[in-house]
Amino acid sequence: MSDSQHQPDRQSSKPWFYRRAVIDSIFWGLVGLCAVLGLADLVYHRHTLFSFESFPGIYGIFGFISCVFIVFAGIGLRKLVMRDEDYYDR
């Protein structure tokens, strides 16, 4: 995605997925969709089994935080468990 930002003059010759305009459209489209889904909780009262589920946008917040946590935990885990590719062959 972001590597395309350094070569604006070559944008038109790039495959469609690597054009900045396409990538930006996908990204901001996703942001818009998430905003709509988050706001939907303000107008629609969801049926829930647990009381904390009724907090507006709770699933979105939880999903976002979970994924960020997983990535940062993964970065930390790499320091602990990552070895060379041929580690077991040596």
Partner 1 sequence: MIANLSPGLILILGGLLVPLVHGRARQVFMLALPVLGGLQLIGLEHGLHGQIGIFDYTLTFARVDKLSLIFGAIFLIASFYNTIYSLHENDVMEQVAAPVYAGAAIGAVFAGDLISLFIFWELTAISSVFLIWSRRTAKATSVGLRYLVIQVGSGVILLAGVILYANKTGSIAFNHIGLNDLASWLILIAFGIKAAFPFLHNWLQDAYPEATVTGTVVLSAFKTKLAVYALARGFPGTEMLIYVGIVMTAFPVFFAVIENDMRRVLAYSLNNQVGFMVAAIGVGTPLALNGAAAHAFVHIIYKSLLFMSMGAVLYRVGTIKASELGGLYRSMPITTVFCIIGAASISAFPLFSGFVAKSLELSAMAEEGYVFAWVVLVFASAGVLHHSGIKIPYFAFFAHDSGLRCKEAPPNMLIAMAIPAFLCIAIGVYPEPLYALLPFPVNYEPYTTSHVLSQLQLVLFSCLAFAVLWRTRVYPPEMRSTNLNTDWVYRKALPALVVWLMRVGSEVRRGALFRAQTRLDRFIMQVYRHHGPGGIMARTWLTGNSVLWVALLLGGYLLIYFLRRA
How many residues touch partner 1 under the rule CB under 8 A: the total is: 52
CA nearest to 24, candidates 8, 39, 40: 8
Sequence-ordered list of residues with C-beta below 8 angstroms from that of 19, at least 6 positions apart, any chain: 4, 11, 12
Query: Looking at beta carbons only, is 21 or 48 nearer to partner 1?
Result: 48
Per-residue 3-state assignment (H helix, E strand, C coil) for 10-31: HHHHCCHHHCHHHHHHHHHHHH
* Binding-site member from 6, 9, 12, 82 for partner 1 (CB under 8 A): 82
Residue 42 in the binding site for partner 1 (CB under 8 A):
no
Residue 13 in the binding site for partner 1 (CB under 8 A):
no
Where in 18-37 is the site for partner 1 (CB under 8 A)?
18, 26-27, 30-31, 33-34, 37
